Amino acid sequence: MWVLLRLIIGSIFLVSGLEKLLSPYQNFLYAIQAYQVLPSPIEVLVAQIFPWIELIMGAFIFIGLWTPWVLRGALICFGIFVVMLGQALIRSLPLDNCGCFGDLIHLKPQMEIVLDSASLLLTFLLLRNIPRVQKFSLDSYFG
């Protein structure tokens, strides 16, 4: 079960990163701008770099390489997502779609904050059970 949960978390980041990378970065930039948090140059940087972070982190979680480290990275990411969505909802910003999965899935921010909070909790639990999570992983192969 712990391995399955690791694969799910890894898949979330893999799919999310892949979708954003295969689409023009301007689409993700537009989604970031809607949150009205970052200055413009940082928004552009995040739009171009963050999908790569998602992709690589997702791949590493999926195959179980450097698992404790990438799970900590995932925890930070989910924490950031919850904060960003939370502030957007509090400020009643006009977000039609959270932009989380690019064009693949359109999720309302209210739904997405629930899912991200659940994922945050799940990732925390995975971090507390590393030996079980690392079954059938490259980490266990390298010892």
Partner 1 sequence: MNKQRLTFLIVLVLVGLIGGAKFFLGARHQELDPKQVRSKGNSQARVKVVEFIDFQCPACANGVKILGTYLDKYPHDIYLQVKYFPLTNVHRHAMVSALYSECAARQGKFWALNDMMMPQQSQWAQLISAEPVFKSMALQAGMDIRKLEGCLASDDARRVINDEKSLGQSLGISSTPTYFINNKMVVGTKSLEEELKTYFP
SS3 69: helix
3-state secondary structure string, 19-65? HHHCCCHHHHHHHHHCCCCCCHHHHHHHHHHHHHHHHHHHHHHHHCC
Q: Does 127 bind partner 1 (CB under 8 A)?
A: no
Question: In terms of CB distance, is 18 or 133 closer to partner 1?
Answer: 18
Q: Does 52 bind partner 1 (CB under 8 A)?
A: yes
Q: Does 13 bind partner 1 (CB under 8 A)?
A: no
**Quick check: 16 and 28 in contact, CB under 8 A?**
no
What are 118's two structure tokens?
A: 């659940």
Provide, rounded to whole angstroms, the least separation between the CB of residue 97 and partner 1.
8
> What does the binding site for partner 1 look like in residue numbers (CB under 8 A)?
18, 21-24, 26-27, 29-30, 33, 40, 52, 55-56, 59-60, 63, 65-66, 94, 96, 102-103, 138, 142
